[in-house]
Amino acid sequence: MCGRYVSARNDHELRLLFDVERRVGESLAPSYNIAPTQWVRIVREEPGDGAAVREMRNARWGLLPVWAKDRRMASRLINARSETVADKPAFRAAAVRRRCVLPADGYYEWQRTPGGKVPYYLHGAEEEALAFAGLYERWADPDFGGDDPDRWVWTCTILTRPASDTLGRIHDRAPVVLPADMVGDWLDPEATDKDRVREMLDAVPEPHLVPRRVGPAVGSPRNNDPSLLAEAG
C-alpha cells in the first residue's frame, strides 16, 4: 500500500511540470510526511465545449464514494488496487470518469523484519517528480444544506499495483507511477471505456525507484520536515 508520501515542490513548479492551466483553491505548504485524510494536491482535466482544461486543486486523501453516508469510510479508501479498480463498487465510477494524478517526490514504506518494521523512503533515481495514478470524487456532506458550497468535499485515492524486484523486497504493493508520456492519456476525460482503463493500467511500466532507509521519526505525522528524508545511520 501507499500510506505516507512526500510532495515538497511548490505550486509553481508543479504547474510547469504537469502543464497545469488553472489553479483552484489555496496553495498547500510543502509536506514531507503526508498522511491519510490530509489535504493533498491533485491534477485533473475538466471537460468543456472545446479542449479540456487541466487544473490543480486540493482534495482530501481518502476517497468518499458519492453513496457514502459519512466521512468515516475515507480512511479505509486511501488506496485502490489497480487490478480490480474498474469493478469494485467504491471505485468503478471514478475509474472511468474521474481520474487524476497526485504529484509526489516519493513515498514511505515499512519493511517487516525479525527486529520490527523498518521505514524506507522510495524516490526517483534523479529525484524527479512522480505522478501517482489516482481517482477523485465530489462527495456531498449531508451536514450542510443543499445550497451551501461547502457541502462539496473533494476526495481522492492512490492506485496501487503488485511490487517486484527491489520494491517487492520492502512491501508487496507499490503506487502506480505514471511515466510522463502516459499522464495525458490517464487524465483524458473522453476515455470512459472500462476496458480502455484496464489497458492503460496494464501498460504502465514498472517504476525505477531507489529505496533509502530512513529514521523512525517518519512514523508520526506530527513530524514533517526535510530531515525525515535523511538516510538512517
**Residues marked as catalytic:** 2, 109
Residue pair 53/22 in contact by the 8 Å Cβ criterion:
yes
